[in-house]
Amino acid sequence: MSTDARKPPAQIALRIRRALGGKAGWNGVAVQLGFAAVLGWIGYEIIANARTNLETQHIAAGFGFLRNNAGFDVNQTLISYTGSDTFLRVFVVGLLNTLVVSLVGIIFATALGFVVALCRLSPNWLLSRVGEIYVEIIRNLPLLFQILFWYLAVLAALPNPRASISLFGLVFVSNRGLVIPRPIGEAGFEPFLAAAAFGILASLALRIQARRALFREGRMIRIWPYVLGLLFALPLLTMLVFGAPFALELPQLKGFNFAGGARIIPEFVALTLALSIYTAAFIAEIVRAGILSVHKGQMEAGSSLGLSRGTTLRLIVMPQAMRVIVPPLTNQYLNLTKNSSLAVAIGYPDLVSVFAGTSLSQTGQAIEIIAMTMGVYLALSLATSLVMNIYGARLNRSLGA
Amino acid sequence: MKRVTLVLTLALAAGLTSQTATAQTLKTVKDRGILSCGVSQGLPGFSAPDDKGNWTGLDVDVCRAIAAAIFNDPSKVKYVPTSAKDRFTALQSGEIDVLSRNTTWTLSRDTSLGANFTGVTYYDGQGFMVKKSLKVNSALELNSASVCVQTGTTTEQNLADYFKSNNMKYEVIAFGTNDETVKAYESGRCDVFTTDQSGLYANRLKLANPADHVVLPEIISKEPLGPMVRHGDDQWFDIVKWTLFAMVTAEELGITSKNVDEKAKSDNPELKRVLGTDGNFGEQLGLTKDWVVRIVKTVGNYGEVFERNVGSGSPLAISRGLNNLWNKGGLQYAPPIR
């Protein structure tokens, strides 16, 4: 009973002293606070000084320009945009273009990196040499040259729109990009979407159910016929009942270019190619290092159990290797995102090109625009790190480390 | 990106150092012993390095004339190549003393950049260039075309305005530098290359087969190109402004680089004032009495500079047109030196 009655010491004060002061105690806390105050003061002085100097030089300052009309066009916009939209919209357009090229680049780079790593580790002499040559050539050439190479190579190889390569009159490839038919929603569109969404959700639920049965009760449930039915038969059935979900708008050559259809511009293709091929070389080495860090006894144990090489890799080696792979892999993802700012060299309208480039010189407000752009890259990088850290932590927990 | 960061650092540094740097540009230039002049990254006829690395062109000659007026030596210029998008930051931050880089005079640039235009060195207008094989005769036939343009220029906005007001669709592909833009046009990525018409003629020379390309007749904008200085240093503003006026006045009075010494001996009162044998007009600017002699002798008058760089004496062979003197049907006009 007596222990219950005793009041605990002031935990918060102690914790602050421990965290800020360390061994120096309260003196240390004072020094730390003083240091923070000086830093804050220096930061304030820089901002105030820059502000007064901008004013005396009659250079426009502040973020009011974001509401002004941009007055220029952009050739790839994921949201609707015209020249009479604001600079804020330009910012969003550029940001989305950066995001989409980074995301697609990360997916391709990861896939290619894993394949190349497995090639390098393959017992097949030819495959492993191919992997080695790939890594040694790609990672030792500057990225900017690779981007320019792919851009000029892609452009040089492609004909002009009037002589474009056509696949069944549906898909057209020319130096204006890849033009594909665009689906346009019709009457049956919404039921079709609903059916497809239900199918996907139900299949996921089935899979969770099957895994639970496998791990808890050791029962194997065959779910693939049901999944097939949910994913394909159900939407097909709704199509029969409600009519076609969408009509295809076919691209047609009109004047200089294709009208109708959706288009992927060659700048996007070149940039994605260059970024993923370049980053894949680094990822391949990271994956190789990760796999080699797993003791070879694990592989031998797998084969002595009668598992194939692929199954051993997938079920035993990779989960352990991922622990080593994830942190440096995060670095590569961050690099790829930041490297996407080289897009301006080939005219891909990413954030740096349309916002820190065109908008900057139209408004002349370098400090605000560069600060916003840097803020975006910082936020993107921190978000990527966060996701990868969470993934890494889950991985460690599942391995009991 | 690196360049932008560098420029930003410079801008911040300029913000941190007090305003002394902006107030006395003439003194700063004299102390440094060299004029720092922002030019383009290579536009034949206006500012481009030759095979020996010497910069030549109309815009370059403006820099040389200023250096001649200050130091009596047109070679005392450091040329700083700037891209379209970081040229203003270079001027604002004090990296360059004057920006002489085919830059269009607009109201917003005059007011919000903390810089002033000092005059017009070349009256230009935006045009279009296409391949002859496309058989296009007018810009109004360019519906749905792809257009290559350099980013950070007035060109980009004029283009949007023109296609919108004529109800035409187009695709714009914007590149960071002039060379990248030209290369993309040449590789067939775009049907049309657009910039100031003088720039079209200049860039056509860079193409493999200049004769395969045609400049369309339409001029869709007014592009008065001129030098820029920082806001708030009136003395420096006057020097740059009157350097150009001196060159135009010299042409008007028939003073050339060859006959300037002879003319200086003349009894004509106007020649005496301009060439500094009478009055102290140069000193009022903060220069010397013989400032016009220095400019004309080493660089030449406006007509000589024009013909040598973009006119009949150059591969561009552009006619004087709007850039002729006011009394010969053009727009070049200088207030009197008196």
**End-to-end Cα spacing for chain A:** 39
Q: How confident is the model at residue A339 (pLDDT cuts 50, 70, 90)?
A: very high
pLDDT band at A4 (very low <50, low <70, confident <90, very high): low
Residue A300 sits in the same domain as residue A347 = yes
Which residues in chain A have Cβ-Cβ distances shorter than 8 Å to B109?
Answer: 364
User: Between A98 and A345, where is the model more confident?
Assistant: A98
pLDDT of A23 strictly over 50: yes
What is the value of pTM for the model shown? 0.79
Residues of A in contact with B126 (CB under 8 A): none
What's the mean pLDDT in A183-192?
76
Nearest CA to B116 out of B7, B219, B234 is that of B234
Q: What is the pLDDT of residue A330?
A: 92
Residue A82 lies in a domain: no
What is the predicted pLDDT for the residue at B48? 93
CA distance A381 to chain B (A): 17
pLDDT band at B19 (very low <50, low <70, confident <90, very high): very low
CB distance A95 to A102 below 8 Å = no
The larger pLDDT score, comparing residue B1 to residue B185, is at B185
CB atoms within 10 A of CB A202: 16
Say if the Cβ atoms of B187 and A152 lie within 8 Å.
yes
Contacts of A360 in chain B (CB under 8 A): 85, 89, 152
Does residue A362 share a domain with residue A274?
A: yes
Chain B 204-243, residues with CB within 8 Å of chain A CB atoms: 230-232
Q: How far is A161 from chain B (nearest CA, A)?
A: 10
Residue A28 token pair: 């240390």
Q: What is the pLDDT of residue A382?
A: 93
Mean pLDDT, chain A, as a whole number? 86
Q: Are residues A49 and A129 in the same domain?
A: no
In chain A, % of residues over pLDDT 70: 97
Provide the pLDDT confidence category of residue B91 given band limits of 50, 70 and 90: very high
Identify the band that residue B23 occupies on the pLDDT scale cut at 50, 70 and 90. Answer: low
Residue A379 has pLDDT above 60, yes or no: yes
- Give the one of A175, A259, A341 whose C-beta lies nearest to B189's C-beta: A175
Give pLDDT, residue A5.
63
Least CB–CB distance from B15: residue in A50, A257, A361: A50
- Please tell me the distance in Å from A48's CA to the nearest CA on chain B: 10
Check whether residue A295 and residue A381 sit in a common domain.
yes
Are the Cβ atoms of A46 and B12 closer than 8 angstroms? yes
In DSSP notation, A301-367 reads HHHHTT--HHHHIIIIIHHHHHHHHHHHHHHHHHHHHHHGGGGGGGT---HHHIIIIIIHHHH--HH
A:B CB pairs within 8 Å: 162
Q: How confident is the model at residue B2 (pLDDT cuts 50, 70, 90)?
A: very low
Task: Say whether both A41 and A97 belong to one domain.
Answer: no
- Mean pLDDT confidence for A294-320: 89
Mean pLDDT value across residues A332-357:
91
Min CA distance, B327 vs chain A (Å)?
A: 36
The pLDDT of residue B7 is above 70: no
Q: Which residues from chain B sit within 8 angstroms of residue A257, using beta carbons?
A: 144-146, 171
Is B76's Cβ below 8 Å from some Cβ in A?
Answer: no
- Residues A135 and A257 grouped into a single domain: yes
Residue A263 and residue A137 in one domain: yes
ipTM over 0.90: no
- Measured distance CA(A116)–CA(A99) in Å, rounded: 25
Largest Cα–Cα distance in chain B? 64
Instruction: Give domain status of residue A62, yes or no.
Output: no
> Are A373 and A306 part of one and the same domain?
yes
Last residue of a domain, one of A56, A73, A98: A56
Residue A272 falls inside a structural domain: yes
Which residues of chain A does B161 touch, with a Cβ-Cβ cutoff of 8 Å?
71, 83
Query: Do the domain assignments include residue A243?
Result: no
Contact A256 B143 (CB under 8 A): yes
Task: Test A58 with B12 for CB contact under 8 angstroms.
Answer: no
- Per-residue pLDDT of A226-245, as tens digits, reads 888 888 888 888 888 877 77
Q: Which of A58, A257, A345 comes nearest B146 by C-beta?
A: A257
The boundaries of the domain holding residue A12 are 3-56
A130 min Cα distance to partner chain B (Å): 32
Note the pLDDT of residue A9: 64
Smallest CA–CA distance, residue B67 to chain A, in Å, is 25
Query: Is residue A218's pLDDT more than 60?
Result: yes
Looking at the structure of chain A, the number of domains it has is: 2
Is residue A316 in some structural domain?
Answer: yes
Handedness of CA A347, A351, A354, A360 (dihedral sign): negative
Q: Please report whether residue A40 resides in a domain.
A: yes
Max intra-chain CA distance, chain A: 93
More confident residue, A401 or A110: A110
State mean pLDDT over A164-180: 80
Whether residue A256 sits in one domain with residue A351: yes
pLDDT at A268 over 50: yes
Residue A48 lies inside a defined structural domain of this protein: yes
Closest CA to A251 of A353, A174, A366: A174
Question: Which residues in chain A are contacts of B144 at CB distance < 8 A?
Answer: 254-257, 259
Instruction: Provide CB contacts within 8 A for A198, sequence distance 6+.
Output: A230, A234
**CA A1 to the chain's CA centroid:** 58
CATH number reported for the structural domain that contains residue A101 in this entry: 1.10.3720.10
A277 and A139 inside one domain: yes
Element (H, E) at A270: helix A266-292
Taking CA–CA distances from B168, the nearest residue in chain A reads A255
Judge whether A311 lies within some domain: yes
What is the average pLDDT across B244-273? 94
Residues A32 and A154 in one domain: no
Q: How distant is the Cα of B146 from the closest Cα of chain A, in angstroms? A: 8
- Position B330 scores a pLDDT of 93
User: Is the per-residue pLDDT at B332 higher than 90?
Assistant: yes
Share of chain B above pLDDT 90, in %: 62
Q: Enumerate the residues of chain A whose CB falls inside 8 A of the CB of residue B8.
A: 366-367, 370
Are A146 and A105 part of one and the same domain?
yes
Torsion over CA of B138, A76, A143 and B89, rounded to 10 degrees?
A: 80
Q: What single-letter amino acid sits at A350?
A: D
pLDDT at residue A278 tops 60? yes
The answer, for B9 touching chain A at a CB cutoff of 8 Å, is: no
Amino acid residing at B166 = N
**Distance from C-alpha of A139 to C-alpha of A24, rounded to nearest angstrom:** 48
Residue B21 has pLDDT above 50, yes or no: no
**Lowest mean pLDDT: which of A6-15, A335-344, B97-106?**
A6-15
Residues of B in contact with A160 (CB under 8 A): 188
Q: What is the pLDDT of residue A21?
A: 76
Q: Which residues of A touch B190 (CB under 8 A)?
A: none
